[in-house]
Structure 1
């Protein structure tokens, strides 16, 4: 096996050239995804009789589809990670995912309902193959004893994500709203094709990472991972986890009458079972690290469940209840989808440098602490939306007669951005530090699946706004995130013990052998 610790890599600005190949690939992939996302809900709710007709759906129905779609986009990362770990390796899986994405975005350009749903399915499959594996490859570029450099590499990579997102919301959003929705979808497909070409041409710089990992353990040690789904039924803990989730799914299906959520929970029962099998496959130190990684996924679900109001509820709020006049120019609502990304480009290196400075002053700077702070700061952004919702006036029929100012949306996105920069790139790096090498892509896939569940939670919250009111939803999110973040900080010490010093390797060797176990190198 080849890894970054034994290969002399060509560098640019102090980082491997391979980082910039992955940066550009992910930039164009995010251009396509966020471009399509910026106009998806607006296309669904646009009136059928308009000059640029949409599908004429009700707001809650559009947000519901958006929630399901964005959830499946990320939940597909679990099978995408397993395929990479067991069959293709991460590098080839990224290429397959890119091809599926090119096909999916291209099909969306066809003005037919069969093409609309087919395109969404292909995009779900493509993101599932590409997203967890390209992020894992970034971690594989850095030796294990360069943790600060690895964290900064993820900040750079994260800037690529948001450079694509920022330009997509402006360009694709404008084309979709003002020229034609399907022209916007087609433009997103062109962006993905450029990203796929970049990845193919840059192979020489990344050929040493993302290859299929050879498991050199004995046959006895490997028996748990040979057939993941059958292994669910080999141990009590995995059987219990699978059974509880299945029973919950049946209760929701037949007891509460929701077959869609029932089927979803039953499907997730297999994911829970596999996650426990992966846990059982480790030695003591690996099990502790896998456990704390799973616990961190709860933070991720809470974070994205709140943050992802951006593509649904906040997107519609900008379109229908925000005064978009800027002098004589009407700002397209879809442009607000770029505000978060633009702020990330401005503040990414500032926030990253702040945490380095903070750590050098011997202050608490663990990934879990940063993630908790990120949840709190992001939650505070919704207080501005609470103010905005009180500015909106309605007539007796419920029609909007007074809209709120744009500044509240901008301030909300600013706090969301600062929170995201504390939580998201740090979480990506955290996983590459803790996950066993043989399960690296699966663990990254599980992270993105948690992101997907957060997206679904966001959809449910957005749907409930029509029942409870936007002020209650915005304020409730802000208060809950604050309390949750504080609770994580209060239990930080026992959580950190489970990492066994994985974040304290900078400038030294891996000393976890003192625990009596041989640990796998996490560099792919």
Structure 2
């Protein structure tokens, strides 16, 4: 790998190399595809398989489980991606290969088949692994060692990432809402194709950046640097990088609730109604655009603030920024605690949207202090011979953080109690109302029918009080005295004792009941048999106790706040010791004058090393 630029690539726009903007637009469209797909992924998996636009019909818990594994593997794949770049192809060619795999992955994901869903995810994992670490390292390669513009260059690059994420979260979310999940996945794929076109077109501005270290464009000095053993300074800096990766795991473990837990929470427990003629309520996936929108607004302001701090001689090291960012991000969950309290203040209540806006605002400010800074920090400290693989390890740490986020999100979702409906549809129909329902007719066209959901094999739900009376479970329809026990066979549930124990321990009686939304869902395979439509058979029943679910979510938000703030403060406590191990890598940052730009090669890192994002 080489990072030397030819004179043609030193042409500048707005004070930065033209190559930065090629990488900017490439990554913008790649992130459009990734975040567009990510914004609807969990919702697609958790949507009923018998809905008008069917999802996979998984439970929230299972959907978050796969989301955690998927987002982890996406970033862990950066390790082999960085290794392939360092050892075989160079960053530039590995980015190209990753882009091709991503185009195929998103294209396959648009096919409404189970095999296509999992195949598409695998291709996306491999594609991101090739593209993500190497394109970030190439950004660092555009700047000479000690160039103070490097941080701002990474901030511009990071803004590009989030312009893509912002546009995707709105457009893909709305397309999926109005036209179907797979049209949303398809739109994400079109974004990736545009990114690949930009990258191929812009190769002339990237000459000498991201080349393979064994290639013809690499100088003898760089070949020697790639072969020599690490110095003591480089080894110390690698140690600091590995410690910083722990920060990354903790940060993303808390932050990445956005696509999982917070996405599902927004869908179920936030009042999203706005009452417009064309849009009665905002789709939950659209809220994923808040983070990206805030980054576009505040990205340069936060970056400028830290440059001002540096010039004033105040503490503005990368490690300090990352610690402060972790604290600020953690404080965002205080607003989710308020949202949880507001939603649980009344039966089946919902929280105001303002709490989500505030939570994402704090998460974003924290991210701007941490994520772009971490990227730049790697390009400052990573030895040249390990530049790509260290970036890969960083993204792997991000992946482990995503898996941690998935595990935390899973723990916040209670396992539903399940049963089977044991009555005829005539007996259950008094508990539902006719409504205007969209279905697909025999010609696969969407039409509206005014009918009872059970006549169309659709899901329906009954809100219920739950309590113990004489040691027996009682389910009453909410706001009435109608008993619901006879509708389903809860007595044969293998978790019956667990349910009763929970009610006993909390002293739940008829005067102080818990509540449950009983969801009646037709078996997926049975719903495919058109000739039996509306027979009222093969319905399962599932529910969680709303009060317990709300408490679980509140506790999750609270502990996320406590742990992240405490972790950030601990980092600040050990800041001086950690900074010693960097051997002054950030002490000599300055504005590079034109003579230095023209006469010296741009490098990622040597025995000294550069800065952040």
User: TM exceeds 0.5?
Assistant: yes
Q: Distance in 2 between matches of 1:217 and 1:150?
A: 23
Q: Distance in 2 between matches of 1:305 and 1:40?
A: 18
Q: CA deviation at 1:171?
A: 0.4
Structure 1 residues 103 and 152, CA, compared in 2 at 3 Å: closer, same or farther?
Answer: same
User: Structure 1 stretches (4+) deviating beyond 6 angstroms?
Assistant: 215-224, 520-523
Kindly report the root-mean-square deviation, in angstroms, between the aligned alpha carbons of the 2 structures: 2.3
Q: Distance in 2 between matches of 1:137 and 1:343?
A: 26
Tell me the residue number matched to 1:475.
558
Q: CA deviation at 1:401?
A: 1.8
1:367-378 correspondence runs (5 A):
367-378=318-329
**For 1:61-84, what per-residue CA distance to the aligned partner results, in whole angstroms no more than 9, with x for missing partners?**
000000000000000000000000
Aligned partner (choices 301, 318, 324) of residue 272 of structure 2: 324
1:402-413 correspondence runs (5 A):
402-413=349-360
Q: Distance in 2 between matches of 1:219 and 1:407?
A: 55
Structure 1 residues 317 and 202, CA, compared in 2 at 3 Å: closer, same or farther?
Answer: same
**For 1:441-468, what per-residue CA distance to the aligned partner results, in whole angstroms no more than 9, with x for missing partners?**
0000000000000000000000111247
1:88-487 correspondence runs (5 A):
88-146=89-147, 148-214=148-214, 281-328=229-276, 329-393=280-344, 401-467=348-414, 469-487=552-570
Structure 1 unmatched ranges of 5 or more: 225-280, 511-517
Structure 1 residues 487 and 114, CA, compared in 2 at 3 Å: closer, same or farther?
Answer: same
Q: CA deviation at 1:407?
A: 0.5
Contact in 1 for aligned 2:145/2:610 (Cα 8 Å): yes
Greater Rg, structure 1 or structure 2? 2
Q: Distance in 1 between matches of 2:244 and 2:225?
A: 27
**For 1:139-177, what per-residue CA distance to the aligned partner results, in whole angstroms no more than 9, with x for missing partners?**
00000020x200000000000000000000100111112
Q: Distance in 2 between matches of 1:465 and 1:160?
A: 33
Contact in 1 for aligned 2:213/2:222 (Cα 8 Å): no
Tell me the residue number matched to 1:262.
none
* Greater share of helix: 1
- Secondary structure of the corresponding residue to residue 325 of structure 1: coil
Structure 1 residues 437 and 223, CA, compared in 2 at 3 Å: closer, same or farther?
Answer: closer
Q: CA deviation at 1:360?
A: 1.2
Q: Distance in 2 between matches of 1:463 and 1:519?
A: 44
- How many aligned residue pairs are there? 455
Q: CA deviation at 1:213?
A: 1.8
Structure 2 unmatched ranges of 5 or more: 415-550, 597-605
Q: Distance in 1 between matches of 2:108 and 2:374?
A: 33
Q: CA deviation at 1:393?
A: 3.2
TM-score, structure 2 length as denominator?
Answer: 0.71
TM-score, structure 1 length as denominator?
Answer: 0.83
Contact in 1 for aligned 2:270/2:352 (Cα 8 Å): yes
Contact in 2 for aligned 1:144/1:505 (Cα 8 Å): no
Q: Distance in 1 between matches of 2:57 and 2:345?
A: 22
Structure 1 residues 386 and 522, CA, compared in 2 at 3 Å: closer, same or farther?
Answer: closer
Contact in 2 for aligned 1:140/1:522 (Cα 8 Å): no
Structure 1 residues 379 and 521, CA, compared in 2 at 3 Å: closer, same or farther?
Answer: closer
Q: CA deviation at 1:521?
A: 7.7
- Secondary structure of the corresponding residue to residue 402 of structure 1: coil
Tell me the residue number matched to 1:504.
587
- Secondary structure of the corresponding residue to residue 131 of structure 2: helix
**For 1:202-244, what per-residue CA distance to the aligned partner results, in whole angstroms no more than 9, with x for missing partners?**
00001220001249699999889xxxxxxxxxxxxxxxxxxxx
Q: Distance in 2 between matches of 1:218 and 1:387?
A: 55
Q: Distance in 1 between matches of 2:226 and 2:145?
A: 24
* Greater share of strand: 2
Structure 1 residues 93 and 189, CA, compared in 2 at 3 Å: closer, same or farther?
Answer: same
Contact in 2 for aligned 1:436/1:522 (Cα 8 Å): no
Q: Distance in 2 between matches of 1:218 and 1:198?
A: 29
Contact in 2 for aligned 1:367/1:430 (Cα 8 Å): yes
